[in-house]
Amino acid sequence: MESETRQRIHRDELRTTLESMLSLHFGAPRRIRTLRRRLSTYSSSYIIENLRIELPGGRTLDLVLKDLSPSSIMTTADRIRPHFLYDPRREIQTYRQILQTDRDGTPEYFGALESDTLERYWLLLERVSGPLLWQIGDMEHWREAARWLARLHGEFYRIGHGSLDPSVGHLLRYDRHFFEVWLTRAEEFLKHQRRSHDSADLRRFGQIAQRYDQVITRLLDLPASFIHGEFYPSNVILRKERRPRTICPVDWELAAIGPCLMDLAALTSGEWSLEEKRTMVRAYRETARQVPGGQPSVEEMMESVKYCKLHLAVQLLGWAPDWSPPERHARNWLREAVRLGDKLGL
């Protein structure tokens, strides 16, 4: 965990607020008998605390408190996270208005604190036990993650295609401007990092950038829906107890309306063989609802996923100057963008 963090919530204030949240959640007054708290090892962007709460009568709750307040942002994250992405309400509203534990298997929502005056935004969730998807090699779990995505995207397909649903106004929008911003940032940062990259890769990326409008047009033509936005295997927990599903995605900070296959591109972004990638795409396709215009073939979806992966590479290049992704995402993203550009004939 990062050594320099922001100030944690005072214990008395935390207890009072938790009692208020739990009373609202259960529909009756709840008092906390004992409260144990410790920093989560998964605190990366924000301070996350694991809580064990004992209520009168002996009932115990294992919860997670995610502090999305500006003062809680971890020092490194504050320096590198693009500020235009920050909206502390996005994840809170996603849990409150969109996700359903019984349907989606996501963590149960216990409550939130939103105060513009105090600049405090807390999210209280069920603590889910289980390994992360990237820690598991069994391909069936990865296929199930792809099927989970297909069900999610099918459930919310209508909101990606013109439906004015007030419950999704807080989400990011993958429109033309969104894609152009990431390309501009990537080009700017690469100019300042020229000495760190192969000159041939830089020239080739410049050629891809000149044709990137074709990429954006292709991405905007893809079926869109409610998407996670960072559906990397490090953000997927495998529940030890199926209730109702094994797959449990967390960290919905960048939830959005965008191309459905963007999530599938993130899921398949590791060092997979072509056949393993095809297996996950096939699992997604077999579960996905029929979309207007007919269901694309596996090979057509594979090509569309490549366009999404090119955007993800560009986004990581444009994330922040002089920054390297965590080890599980680390790779030469400039070379990856060039490789994908070559495969797509750009």
Residue 214: pLDDT over 80? yes
pLDDT on residue 169? 81
Average confidence score pLDDT of the chain: 88
Task: Please state, for a pLDDT cut of 70, what percent of the chain lies above it.
Answer: 87
pLDDT on residue 41? 82
The contacts of residue 99 (CB under 8 Å, 6+ apart) are 106, 109, 252
Residue 162: pLDDT over 90? no
Residue 1: pLDDT over 80? no
pLDDT on residue 166? 64
Counting beta carbons within 10 angstroms of the beta carbon of residue 287, is it exposed (0 to 12), middle (13 to 18) or buried (19 or more)?
middle
Kindly report the pTM of this predicted structure: 0.90
- Rounded-to-integer distance, Cα 71 and Cα 324, Å: 24
Report all structural domains of the chain as residue ranges with CATH numbers, in order of start.
11-126 (3.30.200.20), 133-343 (3.90.1200.10)
Counting beta carbons within 10 angstroms of the beta carbon of residue 275, is it exposed (0 to 12), middle (13 to 18) or buried (19 or more)?
exposed
pLDDT on residue 3? 41
pLDDT on residue 2? 44
Cis peptide before 244 (omega within 30 of 0): yes
